[in-house]
Amino acid sequence: MNIENVRARFMALTGIDSEEMFRWQALTEDAVDYVQQRCAVREPDEAQTKRLEALAAAYALKLYALCGDDGLTQFVAGDVHLTSSADKRMRAGELWAELAAQNADLIGTEGFLFGRVIT
């Protein structure tokens, strides 16, 4: 996998600019490692590599959402409406689960990959 492709996808998903990306480089590297460790294909072709990069970016998004989640979903006081990123954590998890399910042929399904134990 090309880490720069994963970072570009991650920045597109989060809206982070290249100047702020340095704060999240380790997170994207961890996501790449996570996906590579679960890769069931020894030498993925170009199309498979792109799918793995998308998976890594989605996993990085999931980690990013967990890091920044404040737990508040919505607060209303008169004309003031505040919403937070709490629902982003759920959407990021859903994106990861959907892509992991769609690409199950590329990644192993042992352990807690989908958030549950598969036997």
Return d(Cα 87, Cα 108) in angstroms, integer: 28
Query: What's phi and psi for 9, nearest 5 deg?
Result: -65, -40
Residue 110 lies in a domain: no
Element (H, E) at 92: helix 86-102
- When comparing pLDDT for 97 and 37, which is higher? 37
Element (H, E) at 4: helix 3-14
Residue 59 lies in a domain: yes
> Using the 8-state DSSP alphabet, how is residue 16 labeled?
-
Q: How confident is the model at residue 94 (pLDDT cuts 50, 70, 90)?
A: confident
What's the whole-model pTM score? 0.72
Total domains present in the chain: 1
Smallest CA-to-CA distance from 96 within 48, 49, 64 is with 64
90: tokens are 């759920």
User: Residue 102: its pLDDT value, please?
Assistant: 80
Q: How confident is the model at residue 99 (pLDDT cuts 50, 70, 90)?
A: confident
Residue 68 lies in a domain: yes
Span 1-28, mean pLDDT? Answer: 92
Residue 82 lies in a domain: yes
Cβ atoms of residues 11 and 18 within 8 Å: yes
